[in-house]
Amino acid sequence: MQLNVLVLPGDGIGPEVTAEAVRVLKHVAARWGHNLRLTEGLLGGVAIHQTGSPFPEETAARALEADATLLGAVGLPEFDSAPPAQRPERGLLGIRKTLGVYANLRPVRAYKALLDSSPLKNDIVDGTDLIIVRELTGGIYYGTPRGISGSGPEERGVNTEVYTRAEIERVARVAFELARRRRKKLTSVDKSNVLETSQLWRRVVSELAAEYPDVTLEHILVDNCAMQLILNPRRFDVLVMPNLFGDILSDEGAVLAGSIGMLPSASIGDRRPSGAWVGLYEPVHGSAPDIAGQGKANPLAAIGSVAAMLEYSFGLTEEAGAVNRAIEAVLESGRVTADLKPRGRPATTVEVGQAVVDAIDSKS
């Protein structure tokens, strides 16, 4: 398969963790006989330094040509007091908008070796393997009217939740198709007992279910979902939800996995003519300036983002599974970075990347 991938290392630990993710991606491509075309671009603080813009036009053009984009992290302390438009983080909004990614995917896997890092009891977290699909470009974060007006006791704040049928359908399709490739169970999250937008959401998702007879659909109210995620996370496979609910529940999901250095994410848009889903893949963590350049950064979230790319953008489930199993093997070996309770001397970023490559060979 032809894999056209743009790499945006960004700032801080971004270049260190993406270097290891790329090492793994190259190894997978060579081992399974895929033709990997890698390009690199500037985003964030490094882009401001070299071009004056956090999101140069050249980067936008390259992202539109690529099937998938792998991003490290952006943000440098020297820009902390800069106005929003001149901050590295503005580059993130730019690339998301350019790619038109409307579905944010947060896979949450409870690795056995990290069960003790979760604040929940081991027997609750063990076996958790779910994906939260959050609608990313609509809902209450974008609806109008919005604003604060008036004064005194009459001063009022207004936000508006709006969803169109088309917006609900496209994100629900991503979720149905993911479920189809996994355990074939989709949970749609809403607040349809109170909100009209949620009533439309529930109706549209239910209608779409007729096109996916192999997927079992259930609906759950968001308040119950918040409870079930920590009472019985194993019951979930794929969850789909509006922007606001996804923002909150994806952080709750993150707690299940144990460490911020372990969390990958994917943002998905429409399909390219090749069949690949346009996708932006990045670790959930930031640029961690406190440990940048010291070889201490945990690259497993970035490497997990490569697994997500292989699975979601390219449909390469065998390769993605091999990367995920290799991550698990490295965690079990205890040769991990300082943030994950290593056995003995903490491993460096490069050593962890190489260990994943070695584990792909020994486990596949």
Catalytic site residues? 141, 191, 223, 247, 251
Q: From residue 1 to residue 20, what is the string marking binding to ligand NAD with x (rule CB under 6 A)?
A: ------------x---x---
Residue 47 in the binding site for ligand NAD (CB under 6 A): no
CB-based contacts of 79, cutoff 8 Å, min separation 6 = 45, 48, 86, 87, 88
Q: Which range of residues in 109-117, 118-126, 131-139, 286-294 is near ligand NAD by CB under 6 A?
A: 286-294
For residues 21 and 70, the answer to whether their CB atoms sit within 8 Å is yes
Nearest distance from C-beta of residue 45 to ligand NAD, angstroms = 8
Q: How far is the CB of 72 from ligand NAD (least distance, A)?
A: 7
Max Cα–Cα distance, the chain, nearest Å: 68
Q: How far is the CB of 91 from ligand NAD (least distance, A)?
A: 9
287 binds ligand NAD (CB under 6 A): yes
Q: Which is nearer to ligand NAD, 7 or 301 (CB)?
A: 301
Q: Which range touches ligand NAD (CB under 6 A), out of 53-61, 139-147, 210-218, 288-296?
A: 288-296
Q: How far is the CB of 358 from ligand NAD (least distance, A)?
A: 20
What gap in Å lies between CA 227 and CA 291, rounded to an integer?
Answer: 35
User: Whose Cβ is closer to ligand NAD: residue 29's or residue 257's?
Assistant: 257
CB of 94 to ligand NAD, least distance (A): 12
Q: Residue 13 or 320: which CB sits closer to ligand NAD?
A: 13
Q: How far is the CB of 88 from ligand NAD (least distance, A)?
A: 7
* Binds ligand NAD by CB under 6 A, chosen from 195, 209, 255, 260: 260
Residue 75 in the binding site for ligand NAD (CB under 6 A) = yes
Binding residue (CB under 6 A) for ligand NAD from 73, 101, 125, 352? 73
Can residue 339 be called a binding residue for ligand NAD (CB under 6 A)?
yes
Give the interface with ligand NAD as residue ranges (CB under 6 A): 13, 17, 73-75, 89, 92, 260-261, 282, 285-291, 297-298, 301, 337, 339
